Every structure is written in structure tokens, then in C-alpha cells.
Structure 1
Amino acid sequence: MLSRKQLQRYSRQIMLPQIGEAGQEKLSNARVLMVGLGGLGSPAALYLAAAGVGELHLVDGDKVEISNLQRQVLYKTNHREKDKAQVAAQQLTAANPEIRLHAHCRMADEGWLTDLFSQQSFDLVLDCTDNLDIRHSINRVCRAHKIPVVMASVRGFSGQLVSFDFRTQASPCYACLFPPAVEASDLPEAENCSTVGVIGPALGMMGSAQALEAIKFLVGLPVSSLNRLQLFEAASLEWRALSLAENSTCPVCG
């Protein structure tokens, strides 16, 4: 049962018929893993913390740099050279001291994710990285452990958003859409925010969309990006969507 303080803090979303007290209790009981606390992870984490997601695990091995501040809205100038995950946990605790925050000051890799998922259960994973190898690792491990995942990326003015619910047998996966070998040749790992540039508000849009889809996942609402690649062009403010299906030749789930 929600406390009086929780009813007050979350009153504006509790009054929504799609959420209500039952939905808020689901959020309060949820455990979410966020991989990457940069331009996508910053707005996503802020909104999930504000919404009252009960437990957030924050994973990032980087330290705050001055060049991050153009787009990574969790951090301030005085946070330079500090661990992103630790600073993020402190910032989110200040925003909502009622939730539980766990900082993992390291980069995620397949072995570490496998060990973590073997030890703890998670309701959802958010992939907020700009590293293709880590994204494919998240895809493989989440599928193996049947954990839903919401993924996003931004390059320049262009954003992508897609979700997979690996609790169902018929779900496609990220490798169905972008097989590792094909993606590596089309989009080298070196092409990320540090090499090709990015507009900050586009990251804010996509990170906020990740948070929105995460909340919908957790309370049981239809998820618009589920098995659908949502494409956003910030230059023209246009969205379009492509439906996805399982790929029989997929190296992960085919």
C-alpha cells in the first residue's frame, strides 16, 4: 500500500486512469537496470526516479568531462573528473530520496551482465549506450535471461528507439534488425558522439522516450516501440516507424 507521502508525491500520475494506485505500486516495486548514463541515460534516469521506480541500478565506467555537459543533464561543472554512476546516484537520490539507487562504476560486458542477472532479478533493462559491442551483449544476455529491454541511440540529429520483450517466445531481437557483422561494417564503433557529433535535445527526446516506454512496460500498458523501430529526425521533427519480425537467419535467436 502506498504511503501518504507517496500518494502526494506521485498524485499527478496516480490520477491518470492508465496508472492509478495499482500502477504506482508496480513502479514502486520495480527493479530497473540502466546501462549508460550519458545523453540518453541522464533524462531517462531523471524521469524514472521522479516517477517513483523503486530501485535503479546505474552502470557507467566513465568520469564526467567538460564536453559531456552540453547534453548530459545530470551533471554540473563541479562534477568534472568524478564517476558518472556515483554522481548520478547522488543526483537522483536528491531528486527522490524514497527510491533505492545502486551505482556500478564500471563498463558493462557480457560476463558481468550474466553474473549480475544470475544473482539478481530485474524487471527491465534500458540500453542507453553508444557502444555497439555492449549493445549486442545486452541483447544477448537479456534474451538469455528473458528480461525486456528498451534501446535507443542518436547520431547527429537522428534518433532510433526499439523495445523487445524477451519474456515471449516469439520476440525478435536487436540482432534480427542489425546483425553484428553487418552493423560493424556499416557503422564502425568509432562513430559515436565523440567523433560525429550530436545535438543535445535529440538525446533528451530519445532518453525521455525510453523512460516513457519503460513506465508503460512496468505498469502493463501497450509499448509503442515493442518490435517496432521508431525513427526520429530532430531537424524536421518527424517520426516514422518500421515493424520488425523474427529473422530466421539471426545469429542470436534464429
Structure 2
Amino acid sequence: MAFPPLVEPLAELSDSELTRTARHRVLAGFGDVAQRRLAAAHVAVVGAGGLGSPAVLALAAAGVGTLTLIDDDLVEASNLQRQVMHRVGDVGAAKVDSAVRIAADLSPTTLVRPVQAVLTPANARDLLAGAHVVIDGTDTFETREAVAAACEDLGVPLVWGVVQEFHAQATVFWSTPPAGAVPVRLADLYPPDAGREAPTCAQVGVLGALCLQVGALLATEAIKLITGVGDPLLGRVLVIDALRARTDEVPLRPADVPSHGGGVAREPAVPEDVPAGVSRASAGLQAAPEPTRPAPIPQLTPAEALAAQRAGAVLLDVREPFETARGVIPGSMLLPLGDVLAEPHRVETPRVIVVCQVGMRAQRAAVALRAAGIEASVLAGGMDAWNRDAAGAAVRA
């Protein structure tokens, strides 16, 4: 559903800005008024990295009036593969300084407020106050949770994305959406602390071009919210598989359901990074019975996984072929995550132990397999744990 625009339009644009944004203003359903809304808008972007960089480029080019960019890091040479706002000459300089230069080159009317600081639960609300929309392009869940909590407190829509390896997710969280829309929060997708064990991009890598795609998508969602044009991703998670050029959409509903006592009863948290398993009962279903509480997915140590394999369970490795080429657990079935999510019934065995590099993808696969009626558990810590464990060493010896 389309939402009312968040921002009242400026009275008029300068002649130079009218010329610069001419292709926006001839868009059907967008026009001059939407462009003037962008000129009056204030967007806060948290993180000047792989997602924040293209988002800032797109928002400045679009003519957003004020951009607050929050990041405490300095540019490193290894950033340049994906953080397109920075240049070789910026190495060693503050990342937020790149935004000031880029915006001036693209849109002289855009004001950039660089904030070189670490966003924390203590300062997040103050740093984000005054923004019409917040875009989260950070790379740690501690910061993501702080950003989300501040946005919930402020009632500001949070445009959210994450990229790792060849995969991405994007959505919109909003604690106080317009009438008729159901509030959706970060905790509905990732329960508190669920993402703390996620590997970093330095550990598993990230496709630079995918960062550009997702950063531009986040900017588009912000533009839609500001102008009231189109349907935002509130209540939907966009899941991108770059290797297969496939984009899927997964519904996302609140995790809270009314309790008999009039308060709120929270369902058990779904595992982290499981977009296929995040649909939950709507908070409005007050007459519905208590939701079925799914049993947590067993997390097996390498020794337990080895014992289960010997007892007849199948080890299902959901990593990509280039990863499995570096080594697998003997006897494993190989089927990349994308194939498992698309066709879980291809796994024709009643009991599996899912394996990936660190456990995140295995968790997603296990949820899909359980939904298909297959008893699935996860090798906790994935191949990293297996390679460190004495049981794995004994098998390889």
C-alpha cells in the first residue's frame, strides 16, 4: 500500500535545480511536487561503507535537501572494492568527508552534515533526531540494534539492508506507520542478540557490485517514503541471490501477539538470518488461538554431528561450489543454499544435519527443511568449528 508523503514540499526549486532534476519531474505520478518534497527532506544515513556509499550518491543526485552521515571510520584501501563514495586519494581520511565532497559535486543544494562518531545506544536518539527517514548501512548488529531502537523511539521509518557474500536482504521497519499499516520492527526479523554471531565481510567476503544494487534500493525506499510514491517494503523482506540473479519476497509480520491478560506475548524467536521463516501471526488476530511454538533447531557440536552421521543422518553442505572445492566433511551431500530454499524436497532423506561455513546459512536451510517435514539440525559454527574440533581432525587424519 502507498503511504502519505512524509515531507511537505518546498515552495519552489531554483532554476538550476529545476534543470538538474528534470528527468524526475516528468515521471508519471512523481512530478514537481515530489521533487520539492525531496528538497525539503532530511535523511540520516548510518554507515559510509558498502551500503551507505551508494545510498548517499543516489540521495544526493536525487536532490534530497539534507543528509546526515554518521560514521567514525577512516577510509582503507580494502574499502574501495565496494565503497564507491571513496577514492584512492581518500585513504586515511574520514569516511564522512567523502560525502561532503560527493554531494557538492552532484547536488550543490544538498547539505551534508558529517558526524564522525560511533553511534551507541546512549547517543543514537540524539544523532538521528530530526531525520524524516533513517537508512541503516552499518555492519555490526550491536549498532543495528541501537539504530533500530532509536528509530522505534522516534517513530521514524528505518530503511534497512544487509549484504554478505553474494546475498542480500532489504526491508523497512516502522514502529508508528500510517493508519492501516501494521508496525514492523527489527526484532521481528532478527530477535535481540540473534545476529551477534554473524561473520564479518572480512571473514566471508562480499560482492562489491551487489552493495551498489542494495544501496540504491535503500535510497529508492527512502525516496518512496518521502514522496508518498509507490509501495514501501514495510512488511516485506526482499531477498537477493546475486549468483542466480534471483530476487524473492518474503512477508514479515510482527512477532508480538496479544496475550489473554491484555498485554503482549512474544513468540519464540526465529533463528538469525532466516528470511524464509519470519512470517508470523499478525498482531491484530486477537481471537486467534495461541500460536504454535516451534521447537528450536538443534545445534550440534562436531562430535555430535559425527555421531549422528554414523547413526544414519545425512550431512547436507549448503555452501557454494567454490567453497566446497576447498574441502568437505566426508560423506556430505552438497546442495547450495539457494537450491535448498527453492526446492527443499530435493533433500530425500528424513534426517539431515545442515553444514555451512559458520552456521548462518545452515540455519536458514534448516528452517526450510523443517517446514518441508524433514528433521533438520545444524552443525553449530559450521566448517570453521569442524576444522577446529578434534573430531573433525580425527576424521581427516
Under a length normalisation based on structure 2, what TM-score does the superposition of the two structures give? Answer: 0.60
Does the alignment pair 1:164 with 2:190? no
Contact 2:141 2:193 in 1 (8 A): no
Match of 1:52 among 63, 67, 70: 63
2:122 — aligned with what?
A: 111
Contact 1:176 1:250 in 2 (8 A): no
Q: Secondary structure at the match of 1:229?
A: strand
CA shift, 1:167, in A, is 2.7
1:219 — aligned with what?
A: 227
CA gap 1:90/1:238 in 2 versus in 1, 3 angstroms: same
2:245 — aligned with what?
A: 237
Separation in 1 of the partners of 2:127 and 2:119?
A: 10
| Residue deviations 1:118-159 (CA, integer Å, cap 9, x gap) | xx4110000011111111111111011100010001010000
Structure 2 stretches of 5 or more lacking a match? 1-11, 257-265, 269-282, 284-397
CA shift, 1:182, in A, is 3.1
2:155 — aligned with what?
A: 146
Q: Secondary structure at the match of 2:56?
A: helix
Separation in 2 of the partners of 1:175 and 1:135?
A: 11
CA shift, 1:205, in A, is 0.8
| Residue deviations 1:163-186 (CA, integer Å, cap 9, x gap) | 0233328312011111023333xx
CA gap 1:178/1:250 in 2 versus in 1, 3 angstroms: farther
Does the alignment pair 1:15 with 2:26? yes
Separation in 2 of the partners of 1:10 and 1:140?
A: 35
Comparing 169-178 and 139-148, the one that deviates more: 169-178
Match of 1:174 among 186, 204, 213: 186
RMSD: 1.6
Tell me which structure has the larger Cα radius of gyration: 2
CA shift, 1:18, in A, is 2.1
CA gap 1:243/1:67 in 2 versus in 1, 3 angstroms: same
Q: Secondary structure at the match of 1:152?
A: strand
Q: Secondary structure at the match of 1:110?
A: coil
| Residue deviations 1:185-227 (CA, integer Å, cap 9, x gap) | xxx15x1211210010111111010011111111002334212
Q: Give the letter aligned to residue 89 of structure 1.
A: V
Q: Give the letter aligned to residue 119 of structure 2.
A: A
Does the alignment pair 1:128 with 2:140? no
Match of 1:87 among 91, 98, 107: 98
Bigger helix share? 1
Separation in 1 of the partners of 2:138 and 2:193?
A: 19
CA gap 1:223/1:128 in 2 versus in 1, 3 angstroms: farther
Q: Give the letter aligned to residue 218 of structure 1.
A: I
Q: Give the letter aligned to residue 207 of structure 1.
A: G
1:209 — aligned with what?
A: 217
Match of 1:32 among 43, 49, 58: 43
Contact 1:230 1:240 in 2 (8 A): yes
Contact 2:236 2:249 in 1 (8 A): yes
Match of 1:101 among 92, 109, 112: 112
Separation in 2 of the partners of 1:182 and 1:87?
A: 33
Q: Secondary structure at the match of 1:111?
A: coil
Q: Secondary structure at the match of 1:180?
A: coil
Contact 1:156 1:198 in 2 (8 A): yes
